[in-house]
Amino acid sequence: MSDVLILGYGPAGVSASLYALRAGLDVQLVGKDSGALGKAHLIQNYYGLEKPLTGEELLQVGKKQALDLGAKIAEDEVTDLMFNGSEFVATGLNGEYHGKVCIMATGAARKKQPLPGMAEMEGHGVSYCAVCDAFFYRQKNVAVMGSGEYALHETMELLNVVNSVTLLTNGVPLTANFPENVKVVDRKLKGLTGEGSFKGVVFDDDSTAEFDGLFVALGSANATDLALKAGAAFDQGKLVLDEDLQTTIPGLYAAGDCTGGILQVSVAVGEGARAAMAAIKYLRENR
Ligand SMILES: Cc1cc2nc3c(=O)[nH]c(=O)nc-3n(C[C@H](O)[C@H](O)[C@H](O)COP(=O)(O)OP(=O)(O)OC[C@H]3O[C@@H](n4cnc5c(N)ncnc54)[C@H](O)[C@@H]3O)c2cc1C
């Protein structure tokens, strides 16, 4: 088990790792790709750059810095996070990662409400967390919206409890292998049915299909999804964080674009440092 488990190796995650490593802690970083930074054409407004770097170049410099100080870096997509009473366990496609504390630095959450009315139906038939809500749909027929590994993870969680799962890909090609007992519908979606609570979906040809519940699992799990699974509190849809960027679960922090606000490298680096320093203090006091 590592002392500090960091999800995401963008500026926030790597910055956090540098503080933890220099405090003599054992650090595990897990990231799935180059995140927002990898998409930045040229970074010109970050302190100390002799010449502008591409986002990808800056990312590689950061990862090397962490590696040189002794970080373990895994390339993996995390689909689940839990706290088992003594450690945080992140489940990835390739294995499990353990930490005494965990810093979520998974970048900005992509918009996960692609259909009108979806936000209003959250908690009324629309869910973003299978492990949290599957129980409410025992023996019922539910749909999962998504097409990749994260949707597969949510589907497998649901199959233990519900009667049937239909996968709604909304026209997006499948990137994971779903079991044969999952019906895959690849038609485009136009909307939801139900007044205030979810009843079903409307396809682009105006035909409809009814389900007891809809689980949204688009793209990959972000900090909000993972915090939900770990049991952290939310207030009006926002993750509750204290001044140390700690969630309501002691030892679980968030940093960088995933906390919202100004989405810039300098802010992500600063938040990574803040979360790491708080985590170091927490570990020293709770060892
Ligand atoms: C096109 C573009 C241009 C930009 N230009 C600038 C600029 O000029 N100046 C500037 O300061 N900022 C710029 N930004 C913003 C900047 O890139 C971000 O603010 C910064 O990268 C945020 O860092 P982060 O570590 O919070 O998140 P990211 O850089 O997004 O890193 C997130 C990390 O989390 C990982 N991750 C996410 N989900 C999972 C999962 N489920 N499992 C495992 N790993 C996961 C990703 O693989 C990645 O490693 C730009 C952004 C974009 C998109």
Ligand 1 binding pocket mutation candidate from 14, 28, 57, 265 (most atoms within 8 A of CB): 265
Provide the pLDDT confidence category of residue 63 given band limits of 50, 70 and 90.
very high
pLDDT of residue 111: 66
Q: Which atom of ligand 1 is nearest to the CA of 226?
A: 41
Q: 94-152, pLDDT tens digit by residue?
A: 999 999 999 999 999 766 778 988 988 988 999 999 988 999 999 999 999 999 999 99
State which ligand 1 atom lies nearest to the alpha carbon of 13: 25
- The topology under which CATH files domain 2-110+221-286 is FAD/NAD(P)-binding domain (3.50.50)
Instruction: Return the pLDDT at 143.
Output: 98
Nearest atom of ligand 1 to the alpha carbon of 9: 49
- Residue position matching structure tokens 């294995």: 95
Cα–Cα distance for residue pair 107/7, rounded to 1 Å: 10
What integer pLDDT is reported at residue 46 of this predicted model? 95
pLDDT at residue number 236 = 81
Asked if the model's pLDDT at residue 211 lies above 90, the reply is yes
Residue nearest atom 5 in ligand 1 by C-alpha distance: 40
Which tens digit of pLDDT belongs to each residue from 228-265? 999 999 988 889 999 999 999 999 999 999 999 899 99
Domain ranges of the chain: 2-110+221-286, 119-216
Report d(CA 103, CA 255) in Å as an integer: 7
Q: Which fold, 119-216?
A: FAD/NAD(P)-binding domain (3.50.50)
Alpha helices in the chain (DSSP H): 11-22, 55-68, 130-133, 149-159, 223-230, 265-286
Atom 38, ligand 1: residue with shortest CA distance: 106
Q: Matching CATH topology for 2-110+221-286 and 119-216?
A: yes
Ligand 1 centre and the CA of 36: distance in Å? 3
